[in-house]
């Protein structure tokens, strides 16, 4: 048996590792995706003041801090048994739109997009943001920087700080209202972001969808994974990032279950594997049946594609039109093509700008009625959709409002089993007869990059292609080939 180790798969050695085992014919026997890190938030949040939890947990990730802040906010609302005021909910959702804007832009232009825009077989040195700029034009760079900054600025105005926000997570609301000047500034930024979202969808259309080779690649077998999908929906089953019920559909696209935050333990279980620090969630009712696909496997996927598959559409017009086009182009619902995550991400970027504009024009948005009085501390679960998928914070408080126990099921964790399988499928479909080269390995990486995985922090993946160190061992574990890029 030969062994290929891809380590690191990120630019930071030590945060993710792929090991591929080849059999004697040089074909892929198995592949493992390992997460070599654990920080232990579930432990050290014990004993902390309730109001600090949505602040401490933002430090799980400097790219997704807003998602943790918001899940924490909602867990506190539930634990203190208080509904936030309408204005507070709208401000939180507006902040959240800013977060989706900067995060989806970062992934599309810096991380995942280069594989498509520049091309999966392009030389490694070109498969990055610079290659994107070369292909899409220099002014695009300025626009990317500007609109990412706008997203950060929107979250900064409402949350107090762009990274690790503080003010949106008061039990019962939010700590500070916005004034008319801030409202106007946010509206102007959102209008500009809306145009940029249109531009981005057009870019995807021109570069990817008009190219039959890419469309074939997207729909090809190595990138196809029929699983269950999960995402939060509103009362019309439309995608919602901030609030609603979590809906799960089966691999045929039929509703499997719809649940509220407090029911999550009836739906989700997690399994521990001895070879990785990340846990493997699965649907409790179906059970864990190993790394397999189809209706008998409890494995489900979350994130942009998970949400679009789990819902009946988008609640805003341009995003809805694009949603319909995606499903039409890729053969109907649900779309099992892992690479379609990228398209779904841009559709969500559009939705975030449209929804943000609705909220900022709402006359209630500058109201000073931003907090309701909390009740007694107890237990609460908060669920939001992080950019990378469903995020669950569960807090149990004691009578002094200190954390007794907390449990976190983080977006990328839900996708861990799916990512493991995507890597194995891609490797099996792409590596044949022991033949391994840079372009082939990039295609293996594309299978997980689509998820925008964020093991500790997605900036570890910046600029779209990862340095790979691949060691090929023969059956005596002797190093026969070494590729570094």
Partner 1 sequence: MAKEKLKIAFYWAASCGGCEVAVLDVNEKILDVVAAADIVFWPVAIDTKYKDVEAMPDQSIDACFFNGAIRNSENEKMAKLLRQKSKILVAFGSCANDGCVKSLANLSDKDGVFERAYLETQSTVNPESVTPQTRFKVNEGELDLPEVYDTVKTLPQTVDVDYTISGCPPPVPSILVMFNAFITGDLPPKGSSFLPNKAVCDECPREKKHSEITEFKRIYEIEDDGVTCFLDQGVICMGMATRAGCGCQCPNVNIPCTGCGGPGPRVVDQGAAAISALASLAKDINVVKEIVDPVGTFYKYSLANSILKRKVQK
Smallest separation (angstroms) from ligand SF4 to the CB of 125: 29
Per the rule left: phi > 0, alpha: psi between -120 and 50, beta: everything else, 3 is beta
The greatest distance separating any two alpha carbons of the chain, rounded to the nearest whole angstrom, comes to 71
Contact by Cβ (8 Å): 121, 439: yes
CB atoms under 10 Å from CB of 31, counted, come to: 25
Distance between start and end Cα atoms, the chain: 24
Binding to partner 1 by residue 480, rule CB under 8 A?
no
Considering only residues 6, 9, 16, 63, which one is a binding residue for partner 1 as defined by CB under 8 A? 63
Subset of 384-413 contacting partner 1 (CB under 8 A): 394, 400-402, 405, 407, 409
> What's the rounded Cα separation, in Å, for the pair 72 and 52?
9
Binding to partner 1 by residue 38, rule CB under 8 A?
yes
Q: Which is nearer to partner 1, 30 or 329 (CB)?
A: 30
339 binds, among partner 1, ligand SF4, none (CB under 5 to 8 A by kind): none
Considering only residues 26, 27, 36, 438, which one is a binding residue for partner 1 as defined by CB under 8 A? 36
Tell me: cis bond preceding 8? Omega within 30 of 0 counts.
yes
Name every residue whose Cβ is closer than 8 Å to that of residue 215 and which is 6 or more positions away in sequence: 208, 209, 329
Q: Which is nearer to partner 1, 265 or 286 (CB)?
A: 265
Smallest separation (angstroms) from partner 1 to the CB of 431: 14
Q: Which is nearer to partner 1, 166 or 215 (CB)?
A: 166
Binding to ligand SF4 by residue 361, rule CB under 6 A?
no
Binding to ligand SF4 by residue 62, rule CB under 6 A?
yes
Binding to ligand SF4 by residue 137, rule CB under 6 A?
no
Contact by Cβ (8 Å): 239, 315: yes
| Eight-state DSSP code of residue 337 | B
Smallest separation (angstroms) from ligand SF4 to the CB of 28: 36
Binding to partner 1 by residue 162, rule CB under 8 A?
yes
Binding to partner 1 by residue 484, rule CB under 8 A?
yes
> What's the rounded Cα separation, in Å, for the pair 281 and 299?
7
Binding to ligand SF4 by residue 59, rule CB under 6 A?
yes
Considering only residues 181, 212, 235, 275, which one is a binding residue for partner 1 as defined by CB under 8 A? 275
Count Cα atoms within 13 angstroms, Cβ side, for 349: 31
Smallest separation (angstroms) from ligand SF4 to the CB of 457: 8
Q: Which stretch of DSSP H or E encloses residue 407?
A: strand 403-409
Smallest separation (angstroms) from partner 1 to the CB of 333: 29
- How far is the CA of 139 from the CAs of 94, 132, 372, in angstroms? 28, 11, 46
CB atoms under 10 Å from CB of 163, counted, come to: 15
298 binds, among partner 1, ligand SF4, none (CB under 5 to 8 A by kind): none
259 binds, among partner 1, ligand SF4, none (CB under 5 to 8 A by kind): none
> What's the rounded Cα separation, in Å, for the pair 307 and 380?
24
Smallest separation (angstroms) from partner 1 to the CB of 144: 11
Considering only residues 460, 470, 471, 472, which one is a binding residue for partner 1 as defined by CB under 8 A? 460
Binding to ligand SF4 by residue 44, rule CB under 6 A?
no
Binding to partner 1 by residue 474, rule CB under 8 A?
no
Which pair of structure tokens corresponds to residue 342? 């990228």
Contact by Cβ (8 Å): 107, 345: yes
Smallest separation (angstroms) from partner 1 to the CB of 424: 12
Q: Which stretch binds partner 1 (CB under 8 A): 91-99, 156-164, 196-204, 213-221?
A: 156-164
- Which position has the token pair 């790394």? 291
Name every residue whose Cβ is closer than 8 Å to that of residue 292 and which is 6 or more positions away in sequence: 299, 421
Smallest separation (angstroms) from partner 1 to the CB of 19: 6
Contact by Cβ (8 Å): 431, 440: yes
43 binds, among partner 1, ligand SF4, none (CB under 5 to 8 A by kind): partner 1
- Which position has the token pair 């179906």? 286
Binding to partner 1 by residue 134, rule CB under 8 A?
no
Binding to partner 1 by residue 126, rule CB under 8 A?
no
Residue least distant from ligand SF4 (Cβ): 59
Contact by Cβ (8 Å): 122, 471: no
> What's the rounded Cα separation, in Å, for the pair 338 and 84?
37
Q: Which is nearer to ligand SF4, 168 or 347 (CB)?
A: 168
- Which position has the token pair 């901030």? 242
Q: Which is nearer to ligand SF4, 59 or 477 (CB)?
A: 59
Binding to partner 1 by residue 164, rule CB under 8 A?
yes
Q: Which residues bind ligand SF4 (CB under 6 A)?
A: 59, 62
């Amino acid at each position: 048996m030969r062994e290929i180790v891809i380590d690191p798969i990120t630019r930071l050695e030590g945060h993710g590792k792929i090991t591929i085992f080849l059999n004697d014919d040089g074909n892929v026997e198995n592949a493992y995706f390992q997460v070599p890190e654990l920080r232990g938030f579930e432990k050290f949040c014990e004993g902390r003041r309730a109001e600090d939890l949505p602040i401490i947990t933002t430090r799980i990730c400097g790219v997704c801090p807003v998602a943790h802040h918001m899940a924490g906010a909602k867990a506190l609302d539930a634990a203190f048994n208080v509904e936030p005021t309408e204005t507070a909910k709208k401000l939180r959702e507006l902040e959240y739109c800013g977060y989706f804007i900067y995060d989806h832009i970062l992934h599309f232009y810096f991380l995942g997009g280069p594989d498509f825009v520049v091309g999966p077989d392009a030389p490694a040195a070109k498969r990055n943001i610079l290659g994107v700029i070369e292909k899409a034009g220099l002014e695009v760079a300025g626009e990317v920087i500007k609109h990412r900054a706008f997203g950060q600025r929107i979250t900064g105005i409402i949350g107090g700080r762009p990274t690790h926000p503080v003010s949106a997570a008061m039990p019962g609301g939010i700590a500070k209202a916005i004034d008319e000047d801030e409202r106007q500034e946010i509206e102007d930024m959102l209008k500009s972001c809306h145009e940029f979202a249109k531009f981005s969808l057009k870019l995807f259309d021109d570069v990817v969808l008009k190219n039959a080779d890419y469309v074939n690649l997207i729909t090809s077998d190595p990138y196809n994974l029929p699983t269950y999908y999960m995402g939060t929906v509103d009362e019309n089953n439309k995608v919602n990032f901030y609030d609603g019920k979590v809906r799960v559909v089966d691999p045929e696209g039929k509703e499997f279950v719809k649940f509220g935050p407090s029911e999550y333990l009836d739906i989700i279980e997690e399994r521990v594997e001895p070879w990785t620090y990340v846990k493997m969630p699965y649907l409790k009712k179906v059970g864990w049946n190993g790394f397999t696909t189809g209706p008998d496997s409890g494995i489900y996927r979350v994130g942009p594609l998970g949400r679009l598959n789990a819902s009946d559409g988008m609640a805003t017009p341009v995003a809805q039109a694009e949603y319909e086009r995606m499903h039409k182009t890729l053969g109907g619902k649900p779309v099992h093509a892992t690479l379609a995550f990228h398209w779904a991400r841009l559709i969500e970027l559009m939705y975030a700008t449209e929804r943000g504009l609705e909220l900022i024009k709402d006359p209630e948005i500058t109201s000073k009625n931003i907090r309701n009085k909390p009740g007694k501390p107890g237990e609460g679960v908060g669920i939001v959709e992080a950019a990378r998928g469903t995020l669950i914070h569960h807090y149990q408080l004691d009578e002094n409002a200190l954390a007794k126990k907390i449990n976190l099921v983080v977006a990328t964790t839900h996708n861990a089993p799916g990512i493991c399988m995507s890597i194995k499928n891609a490797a099996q479909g792409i590596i044949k007869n022991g033949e391994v080269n840079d372009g082939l390995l990039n295609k293996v990486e594309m299978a997980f990059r689509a998820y925008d995985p964020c093991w500790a922090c997605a900036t570890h993946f910046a600029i779209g292609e990862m340095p790979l160190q691949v060691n090929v061992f023969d059956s005596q574990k002797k190093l026969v080939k070494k590729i570094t890029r």
